[in-house]
Amino acid sequence: MQDDQIKGGVGTQITHDSAALHVSGRALYIDDLPEPERLLHGYIVMSPVAHGKLLSIDPSHALELPGVVDFIKASDIPGHNEIGPIFTGEPLLAESVVEYVGQPVAVIAAEAHELACRAADRIQVHCEELPPVLSIEEALALKSFVSKPHALTKGDPDKAMLNSPQKLKGELRIGGQDHFYLEGQVAMAIPFEGEMKVFSSTQNPTEVQCLVAECLGVPFHTVSVETRRMGGGFGGKETQPAIMACCAAILARRNNRPVKIRVIRDDDMIMTGKRHPFLASYEVGFDEQGRILALNMTLACNAGNTADLSSSILDRALFHSDNTYFLEHCRIQGYACKTNTVSNTAFRGFGGPQGMLAIENIIDEIALALGRDPLEIRQINLYGVEDRNVTPYHQKVEDNISAELIDELVQSSEYHKRRKEIEEFNRTQPLVKKGIALSPVKFGISFTTSFLNQAGALVHIYKDGSIALNHGGTEMGQGLFTKVAQVVAQEFCVDVSRIKITATDTTKVPNASATAASSGSDLNGKAAQDAALMIKNRLISFLSQHFGVDENAVEFMPNQVRIGEEILSFDKVIDLAYHQRISLSSTGYYSTPKIYYDRETASGHPFYYYAYGACVSEVVLDTLTGEYKLLRSDILHDVGNSLNPAIDLGQIEGAFIQGVGWLTMEELWWDSKGSLKTHAPSTYKIPTCRDIPIDFRVQIKPNCSNREETIYRSKAVGEPPFMLGISVWLALKDALGAARNGSGRIRLNAPATPEALLLALQA
């Protein structure tokens, strides 16, 4: 008996392919792989100061420990000492200056991990300290930047500001965020026959391949990188893994032994980049209704000591400082400030969250100034459908559904009724105050660096009818492998269990982009579909000739193929095709259409489409302690036609909570010498299961097909819902307003920790 449907096709809620392995602890991460014989363990020696001349590094106390085998510094790197993803001037190991506390300056190798760790501690790094630049303000004053400033302008903001009946000026400080992936950074390099095989916990195996080859001074084809899965990446494994991979490969080549480097959590947090802190300064002009007439805003981020991806992250911050709102006259300027702190990097949302928080705060300020419900101000400023639809970067918003989405959520969450109940509660409760807020999200999908929007795949069908799938995307828990397997199952009309998802490997698919910008399933799904269709079309043409029927008479049915009157099992068809010498393997390729951006004119069509969502959150605040509880969150989020609603729901919930963590509890704190003091869970509070809303209602917006021809008209989901967490920050601000009885402006920065809330109450 054949089923009338395949198992695990597109749109079905199958579980993550590794779910059982994850929850039973059997999933293999790089540190779990069987260790090769003669494995050495590397450990990275870090700069003790934020800024200084590097005078000498003395490894003698380390090398005298039995089992310590090797030591390298910058001058021992055989090729380039460069690991910048976009710009040069980003050394793997510091040469003559050190520029942040934690900067890699040397690497030690020993017979055991703990020994290497201990040996690294004994290495003496001598520096002549120089004055560090630690804050955005200092860097702005010195005009110390890692990349050229960028600005978006539309209309005539100066004139519109002059003519605005109401104006507000303000500043918002936005904190950074540590990725806190469960699996720390790790790499293992294995030398053989002049080649180097690297296992790297990376979102970007191709970049690791290229950088390892450049550090070794060898052609790319002698280095291969494999990544089966990461224990979370969240952007923290886009560029940072190069440090461990390159150091391991250099040591492996010198010693002709395999080398593994895994840094402990504290050192990982000190050494590697985080989300960029931002300082937003603005002047907004508006009318009595609260409609924004002019906006003049500067977004300055703390890029840390090098550029890394900061220029692209700043671009994305600028591109999202409109969020869902039409800004007719605006100037939005961006600065990527160079400081003597760790170089900040990609983190879920990639600057978008910071830009969006800035404008959401402005909307809130307008509402407060006019004594109106912020929801009204949001609604009155939304992008239109026919007009009022041009962004500050001059892309037309053509798929806008924010108004209807917000209306639906206002209804389903009973926003207005609850707002009244909360007012009543606050009238009668002197010490605890409730707050509520709705915040929308519009997130642009595509790498804004247009050439990155490409992907490749490789599909094999073996003689027994089983299928192997490979593509350039990486699995970090987000379910990409599962979704792409569903696409291939759908193409061949077979059960997904037939498809073996294989580890990302630079020898199988070359020149892949990072799995980033939420575009993993969009890009790799299409590339895998292309490969599958190539084979499928070969099969169709073969079968029609072999059986003497029209090509239209060949039909792929669940796990079978109908050829005219005949029905053969999929296995039988493959067996037949093999014996008739039909190729059963194909590569596939995809590049996103319609996108371009011109930095000179700051205009173009950087995004293929937008993903939308909105969230209503309700909090209760204890005005004596600043403690709060997230009572309820209602989310309505657009994922187009979902490839897998179960996985998408998980992404929405997880991203939201991670966003709440960023804005309400995760606080990074450096001392006056630029040393990070919050480098473990004892001092850095991430959300846990106790922090999810007591009442959590998450809905995927139904019947919401993507108007663009994406893979099965789905939409990217990885990052957009992160920004729904903004509703919680706004709800806390609303509760503060209630506590202060509407007297004066509320100065609240992010994160809104209990301490910050208490200070804002007393200000």
Identify whether the C-beta of residue 204 lies closer than 8 Å to the C-beta of residue 514: yes
Give CA–CA dist 656/635, Å, rounded. Answer: 9
Tokens found for residue 305 = 């000591």
- When asked if residue 180 is in the footprint of ligand MOS (CB under 6 A), the reply is no
397: CB partners within 8 A, 6+ apart: 383, 389, 390, 391, 442, 610
In the block, tokens 């200070």 appear at 759
Window 204-233: residues binding ligand MTE (CB under 6 A): 232-233
Q: Residues 187-206: x/- map of binding to ligand MOS (CB under 6 A)?
A: ----------------x---
Question: How deeply is 564 buried, as exposed, middle or buried, from its count of CB atoms within 10 A (0-12, 13-18, 19+)?
Answer: middle
Annotated catalytic residue 95 = no
- When asked if residue 482 is in the footprint of ligand QUE (CB under 6 A), the reply is no
**In terms of DSSP bridges, do strands 223-227 and 195-200 run parallel, antiparallel, or are they unpaired?**
parallel
- Nearest residue to ligand MOS, by Cβ distance, number only: 235
- When asked if residue 312 is in the footprint of ligand QUE (CB under 6 A), the reply is yes
Could you tell me the maximum CA-CA distance found in the chain, to the nearest angstrom?
85
Q: How far is the CB of 591 from ligand QUE (least distance, A)?
A: 15
Window 510-549: residues binding ligand MOS (CB under 6 A): 516-517
Q: How far is the CB of 236 from ligand MOS (least distance, A)?
A: 8
User: Rounded to the nearest 5°, which phi and psi values hold at 294?
Assistant: -155, 145
- When asked if residue 278 is in the footprint of ligand MTE (CB under 6 A), the reply is no
| Contacting range for ligand QUE; rule: CB under 6 A; set: 221-229, 269-277, 308-316, 382-390 | 308-316
Tokens found for residue 571 = 């296995």
Q: Residues 690-719: x/- map of binding to ligand MOS (CB under 6 A)?
A: -----------------------------x
- Nearest residue to ligand MTE, by Cβ distance, number only: 520
194 conformational bin, left if phi > 0, alpha if psi -120 to 50, beta if neither: left
- When asked if residue 234 is in the footprint of ligand MTE (CB under 6 A), the reply is yes
Provide the b/e sequence for 383-403 (b: ≥16 CB within 10 Å).
beeeeeebbbbbbebebbbbe
Question: How deeply is 38 buried, as exposed, middle or buried, from its count of CB atoms within 10 A (0-12, 13-18, 19+)?
Answer: exposed
Residue closer to ligand MTE, measured from CB, 588 or 654: 654
Provide the b/e sequence for 571-583 (b: ≥16 CB within 10 Å).
bebbebbbeeebe
Contact partner, 448, from ligand MOS, ligand MTE, ligand QUE, none, Cβ < 5-8 Å per class: ligand QUE
Q: Which of 348, 434, 442, 733 binds ligand MTE (CB under 6 A)?
A: 348
Chain centroid to Cα 496, Å, comes to: 27
**In terms of DSSP bridges, do strands 259-262 and 40-46 run parallel, antiparallel, or are they unpaired?**
parallel
- Upper half-sphere CA count for residue 292 (Cβ side, 13 Å): 33
Chain centroid to Cα 588, Å, comes to: 25
Residue closer to ligand MOS, measured from CB, 154 or 228: 228
Q: Which of 43, 180, 325, 347 binds ligand MOS (CB under 6 A)?
A: 347
Contact partner, 465, from ligand QUE, ligand MOS, ligand MTE, none, Cβ < 5-8 Å per class: none
# residues near ligand MTE by CB under 6 A: 20
- When asked if residue 238 is in the footprint of ligand MOS (CB under 6 A), the reply is yes
Contact partner, 447, from ligand MOS, ligand QUE, ligand MTE, none, Cβ < 5-8 Å per class: ligand QUE
- Cα-based distances in Å from 475 to 459, 502, 606: 17, 10, 25
Residue closer to ligand MOS, measured from CB, 45 or 726: 726
Give CA–CA dist 753/666, Å, rounded. Answer: 8
- In three-state secondary structure terms, 17 is coil
Q: Which of 293, 514, 614, 711 binds ligand QUE (CB under 6 A)?
A: 514
Nearest one of 442, 502, 166 to 322, comparing CA atoms: 442
Q: Where are the alpha helices (DSSP H) in 199-351?
A: 205-216, 241-255, 265-271, 310-319
Contact partner, 452, from ligand MOS, ligand MTE, ligand QUE, none, Cβ < 5-8 Å per class: ligand QUE
- Cα-based distances in Å from 512 to 310, 450, 455, 473, 590: 21, 14, 6, 7, 11
* H or E stretch at 611: strand 609-622
- When asked if residue 102 is in the footprint of ligand MTE (CB under 6 A), the reply is no
Q: How far is the CB of 233 from ligand MTE (least distance, A)?
A: 4
- When asked if residue 340 is in the footprint of ligand QUE (CB under 6 A), the reply is no
- When asked if residue 640 is in the footprint of ligand MOS (CB under 6 A), the reply is no
- When asked if residue 350 is in the footprint of ligand MOS (CB under 6 A), the reply is yes
| Contacting range for ligand MOS; rule: CB under 6 A; set: 82-90, 177-185, 342-350, 624-632 | 342-350
Catalytic residue chosen out of the listed positions 138, 171, 719, 755:
719
Q: How far is the CB of 445 from ligand MOS (least distance, A)?
A: 11
Q: How far is the CB of 18 from ligand MTE (least distance, A)?
A: 11
Contact partner, 344, from ligand MTE, ligand MOS, ligand QUE, none, Cβ < 5-8 Å per class: none
- DSSP 8-class letter at 554: E
Identify whether the C-beta of residue 374 lies closer than 8 Å to the C-beta of residue 364: yes
- DSSP 8-class letter at 276: P
Q: How far is the CB of 181 from ligand MOS (least distance, A)?
A: 11
- DSSP 8-class letter at 127: E
Window 717-746: residues binding ligand MTE (CB under 6 A): 718-719
- When asked if residue 477 is in the footprint of ligand MTE (CB under 6 A), the reply is yes
- When asked if residue 608 is in the footprint of ligand QUE (CB under 6 A), the reply is no
- When asked if residue 346 is in the footprint of ligand QUE (CB under 6 A), the reply is yes
- When asked if residue 449 is in the footprint of ligand QUE (CB under 6 A), the reply is yes
Binding stretches for ligand QUE (CB under 6 A): 85-86, 238, 309, 312, 316, 346, 350, 447-449, 452, 514, 516-517
Binding stretches for ligand MTE (CB under 6 A): 232-235, 348, 476-478, 480, 515-521, 651, 654, 718-719
Binding stretches for ligand MOS (CB under 6 A): 203, 235, 238, 346-348, 350, 516-517, 719
Catalytic site positions: 719
